[in-house]
Structure 1
Amino acid sequence: MNDGTTQTGPARARPLISTWGDGTATAARPVLIVHGSVDRSDTFRRVVDHLPGRPVLGYDRRGWGASRPLGGADVDFRVHVDDLRTALAESDVPPIVLGHSYGALVAMAAAAADPSRVAGIVAVEPPVRWLPWWPADDPWERTVREAAAEGGPEQATRAMLTELLGPASRLHLARTRPSDLAADGAALISEMTDPTVDAPAFDPLTFPLRTVVAAGSRSAAHHKEVARRLAELLPHGRFAEIPGAGHAAHVSHPQELAQLVHEIDMIEEQHR
């Protein structure tokens, strides 16, 4: 998979894909990371440190990080899925896809559409809104909605980061420019209010790939419940709770998350 910006359609640039880890390793199966909302691919570098000898690919989704200029009103869930499908189509070897939160939902939708291009999935707390265990009024969505109504996109980002990181958010917020917080808030509001996310993007009962659905033991109750229930529905699914982790397990518990990637790889090796 080559670094660079190409076109997926008329005048639509693609997110830049970077290779971390040992990009020259040909024997090890690659890993492709899809980050969640209010995030970027760089925050997974601690996970990469625990995946030695393995090429790891990552990109900033549209509206976030280096791909912020690629966001906009026309970018919805389906566009993010198309971006991932394009990245998968360019990989010589089907990778293990590690998706976090919104990115986990993108990963599962893209894998369901092109299962032969994916070796397995590690899905960390995917917000599967169409499952019956997802609350009608999600607390984080309510927090963002109320903060945006009070202070606009910048306030929405501040409120969400406080929910995600707790007291640790203070330093991050103090270091971040208000204009960047506002830009992230615009992307956050767009993703949380996107009606296409509410439509079923895959059928859990026929999902063909080996999947570990993970959740932190300290995460929101409905995130853990949905992750557990989803794993039970998947024909080749397993639920994994990460002890002591909250929603941002890739930051706080990178080694444990990397181990789940290794688990998928070991299972695949046994079935080759």
Structure 2
Amino acid sequence: MNATTRQDAPERARPAVSKVRGGSSETTARPVVIVHGSMDRSTGFRRVSDHLPDRTVIGYDRRGWGRSRSLGGPDVDHQAHVDDLSAILAELAAPIVLGHSYGALVALAAAAADPSLVAGIVAIEPPVRWLPWWPADDPWEKTVRGAAAEGGPEQAARALLTELLGPASRLHLARAQPSDLAADGTALISEMTDPTVDVPRFNPLTFATPTVVAAGSRSAPHHVEVARRLAELLPHGRFAEISGAGHASHVSHPQEVARLTEQIDSNPEFDSKPENHLIEEQRR
């Protein structure tokens, strides 16, 4: 669906936005907006918000997930998620955006479309599939495609959760309702097979927003490599490795993830990298 068609169509329902944490009434710290990844929802960041007591933390469930499950569907592409986030940001005073995985990609695209909406971004392992360091056949995408072909959306959700959480997935899957797994699997397949995600949505070399790009030290090697390389390319980018964490660092290392937002406020400009310095970093 192109931009013209979307403007002419009736206004679609928007995801519900809620405060995960209210923050201190006396604080001057910027609020934080959370954009969750696939197979997740905003409540997955509660432990992160516990380590941000002085900030207002705002969350919402993206289309197809959690409380916004009914807003999903075949017409929901990456741009729809960007539009939702942009509408939320437009009602706030330039917050910090904390995006995880697919949600980090949404955050980067929204900031590129209108840099004035965002003070800074913490992007945890964004799947920037059009960068040259992303493999042509991503292992998780391969797992989801194979499981979906074998057992449909429910099996796809089970397969990815098993890879994401390892042994800890057993308890989660034992408690999950098959209907919920099937619904999550449908949204998962939609996001992983969306061809518009492969189209460059921002130019890293001219990206204006201060950004911390982070990755867990135990994450898939290409997730770490893409995060590191993206941070090197961004004029106002910094890379942060979360020691001992896998892909779900907001669950296993919430304090470390919360601390990354402080890097935005403590050094909001993130001094631009001189061109020769950037070239040297790319050679390493």
Q: Do both proteins adopt the same fold according to a TM-score greater than 0.5, normalized to the shorter chain?
A: yes
Distance in 2 (CA, whole Å) between partners of 1:95 and 1:127 is: 22
Q: CA deviation at 1:114?
A: 1.0
Structure 1 residue runs of 4 or more that deviate by more than 6 Å after TM superposition: none
Q: Which residue of 2 aligns with 1:157?
A: 157
1:202 aligns with 202
* TM-score, structure 2 normalization: 0.90
- Structure 1 CA distance for aligned equivalents of residues 17 and 23 of structure 2: 13
Which residue is equivalent to 2:129?
A: 129
Q: Structure 1 residue 232 and structure 2 residue 255: aligned?
A: no
Q: Alpha-carbon deviation of 1:267?
A: 1.1
Matches within 5 A, 1:64-213: 64-91=65-92, 93-213=93-213
Match of 2:282?
A: none
Q: 2:3 aligns to what?
A: none
Query: Partners in 1 of 2:120 and 2:60 — Cα distance?
Result: 19
Distance 1:55 1:96 in 2: 11
Give the deviation of 1:268 after TM superposition.
Answer: 2.5
- What letter matches 1:215 in structure 2? A
Q: State the distance in 2 between where 1:211 and 1:204 align.
A: 11
The two structures have a TM-score, normalised by structure 1, of 0.94
Asked if 2 retains the 8 angstrom alpha-carbon contact of 1:105 and 1:128, the reply is yes
The 8 Å contact of residues 23 and 53 in structure 2, kept in 1 or not, is answered as: no
Moved more, 95-104 or 261-270: 261-270
* In 1, Cα distance between equivalents of 2:47 and 2:54: 15
1:215: which partner in 2? Answer: 215
Maintained 8 Å contact 2:210/2:269 = no
Aligned to 2:248: 248
Contact 2:236 2:270 in 1 (8 A): no
Q: Does the CA contact (< 8 Å) of 1:216 and 1:245 recur in 2?
A: yes
Paired positions, count: 263
8 Å CA contact 1:22, 1:56 repeated in 2: yes
RMSD: 1.5
Q: CA deviation at 1:188?
A: 0.2
The AA in structure 2 aligned to 1:46 is R
Q: Percent identity?
A: 76
Instruction: Report the alpha carbon displacement of residue 27 of structure 1 after superposing the two structures with TM.
Output: 1.7
- Structure 2: give runs of 5+ residues left out of the alignment: 1-7, 272-284
- Which residue type is aligned with residue 88 of structure 2? A
In structure 2, the CA distance between the partners of 1:213 and 1:270, relative to structure 1 (3 Å rule), is closer
Instruction: Give the letter aligned to residue 203 of structure 2.
Output: D
CA distance in 2, matches of 1:203, 1:71: 28
2:75 partner amino acid? D
Deviation per CA, 1:189-221: give whole Å up to 9, x if none: 000000000000100000001100000000000
Q: CA deviation at 1:269?
A: 8.7
The unaligned stretches of length 5 or more in structure 1 are 1-7
